[in-house]
Amino acid sequence: MGNLVWIGFIAFFIVALVVGVRVLLLARRSRELPELLMGVGVLGIGPVGFGLMVVARQFEGSSPEFHTLLLGVSLFAVGCGAFAQFVFNWRVYHPGSGIARALALLAGAGLFGTFVWAGLAHGFIAEDPTAPHSLIRSLLQISCLLWGAGESFAYWTKMRRRVRLGLADPVVSNRFLMWAIGAFAAGWGTAVGLAGQIITGAPTTEANWVLVSSSMHGLVAAIAIALAFIPPGFYLRYIRTRAERSNADATT
Amino acid sequence: MVDAPAFDWMCTRLEQDTSLDRLAARGTVRLALKGAGLDARTLTPDQLKVVIDKLLVGELTARGIDDAAGLCSSLLAALASAAQGLTTEAAGEAPDAVFSRLARVA
């Protein structure tokens, strides 16, 4: 059971690494901003930020300086990833909105500010989740994911109507839903983990129910993000067949 | 953002060809667009064609417009000749265009 708990974390780590790298390679070829933002967002919040945090724990006793360095890089990666997600939400869903732009820029300033604050306050050593800078950073990280999930879900509701009229590709429509589920699971899982840490006063790894919750949210996020960005052939066939059947039913 | 030329064209034609006033015409078209998951600001002539063909008849009938099917047929014919002048440069890339790229192999 102990090892099984880590399945969600491992799945999320692998899927986010594969998707993040693929999307960044795509960005290098296409020279388009959304791909770059999505790649930095997924890699920064997932494998780089989360991964380095886990690696840093291994050096906590043996090499405190290296431990602190890794935690600092990890926090920086999470900040960059969250900021990229904020800018993605603004540029992709509301490019003409002053409010969305202000939100994204304000969040960027907040993330940078909390990074500097954490460095000045205690040099990035393992921090109290209720410390103001830690709390603000966590809330911003949760916000970028839940905002993205909400936007993607709202767009999916439009896309499914377009699919019925033959105006949109069912696979692209499903990608909005899967990203909405993946981003929501990641954001909500982080929120539950944060709440658990605050309630129990213990790190995620030391409170069993928080660990299981975070891992299960990670598993859901991993499956949804994989189906969104690296869907297997059978899943694509299933989505297309279901859409054709649904359109046929609507016309008869 | 302002409404797309295709949307304005459609509303003007409904005002001219039916008893609907400006407000009712625009509301009717907006309801049809909502049913199609489309936006008045980014509406293209190709999308409008599908909306007229599949959704507008129902909306016009619901508002007591006589011979809604015949009206839609004439609107489709008029759109075919007007379509070229109703295309505009998109203000930005639509989210579905972004998401259609994101799963491509690099």
Task: Sketch the domain layout of chain B as residue ranges.
Answer: 5-101
pLDDT digits (tens, 9 = 90+) for A222-236: 999 999 999 999 999
What share of chain B has pLDDT > 70, as a percent?
Answer: 94
Measured in angstroms, the CA of A179 and the nearest CA of chain B are apart by 10
Over chain A (252 residues), the average pLDDT of each successive run of 10 is 79 96 95 96 93 83 86 94 98 94 97 91 76 91 97 97 94 98 96 89 75 92 97 96 84 64
Residue B29's Cβ-side half-sphere holds a number of Cα atoms within 13 Å equal to 29
Question: A98 to chain B: nearest residue by CA?
Answer: B1
pLDDT digits (tens, 9 = 90+) for A46-97: 999 988 888 888 887 788 888 888 989 999 999 999 999 999 999 999 998 9
Within a 10 A sphere around the Cβ of B100, how many other Cβ atoms?
A: 15
Q: How many residues does chain A have?
A: 252
Is B89 in the A-facing interface, judged by CB distances under 8 Å? no
Is B16 in the A-facing interface, judged by CB distances under 8 Å? no
Q: Do B36 and A162 touch (CB under 8 A)?
A: yes
Distance, in Å, from the CA atom of A81 to the CA atom of B27, rounded to the nearest integer, reads: 41
CA-nearest of A162, A158, A114, A106 to A138 is A114
- Compute the average pLDDT of residues B34-45: 93
What is the distance of C-alpha A252 from the center of its chain? 41
Q: Please, are residues B90 and A96 in contact by the beta-carbon 8 Å criterion?
A: no
Q: Given this model, what pLDDT does residue A1 score?
A: 56
Q: Given this model, what pLDDT does residue A55 score?
A: 85
CB contact burial B28-59 (16+ within 10 A = b; e otherwise): bbbbbbebbbbbbebbbbebbbbbbebbbbeb
Q: Per-residue confidence at B1, pLDDT binned at 50, 70, 90? A: low
Mapped onto helix, strand or coil, the DSSP state of residue A119 is helix
Is B101 in the A-facing interface, judged by CB distances under 8 Å? yes
Q: Do B106 and A92 touch (CB under 8 A)?
A: no
Name which of B98, B100, B104, B105 to mutate to probe chain A: the one with the most chain A Cβ atoms within 10 A of its Cβ.
B98
Non-local CB neighbours of A78 within 8 Å, separated by 6+ positions:
A44, A45, A49, A50, A137, A141
Name which of A31, A92, A178, A247 to mutate to probe chain B: the one with the most chain B Cβ atoms within 10 A of its Cβ.
A92
| Contact residues, A window 47-106, toward B, CB-based 8 Å cutoff | 92-93, 95-96
Within 8 A of B50 by CB-CB distance, chain A residues are 165-167
Question: What six digits make up the tokens of A101?
Answer: 């732009």
Is B37 in the A-facing interface, judged by CB distances under 8 Å? yes
Which domains, and CATH codes, for chain A? 4-251 (1.20.1070)
Is B36 in the A-facing interface, judged by CB distances under 8 Å? yes
Measured in angstroms, the CA of B99 and the nearest CA of chain A are apart by 6
CB contact burial B82-95 (16+ within 10 A = b; e otherwise): ebeebeeeeeeebb
Q: Given this model, what pLDDT does residue A6 score?
A: 85
ipTM given for this complex: 0.89
Q: Given this model, what pLDDT does residue A132 score?
A: 87
Question: What six digits make up the tokens of A189?
Answer: 């899982």
Q: How many residues does chain B have?
A: 106
Q: Given this model, what pLDDT does residue A252 score?
A: 63
Query: What's the predicted TM-score (pTM) here?
Result: 0.90
Q: Given this model, what pLDDT does residue A59 score?
A: 83
Q: Given this model, what pLDDT does residue B106 score?
A: 57
Within 8 A of B93 by CB-CB distance, chain A residues are 34, 92
- Compute the average pLDDT of residues B76-84: 89
CA-nearest of A209, A185, A204 to A194 is A204
Top-confidence residue, B92 or B77: B77
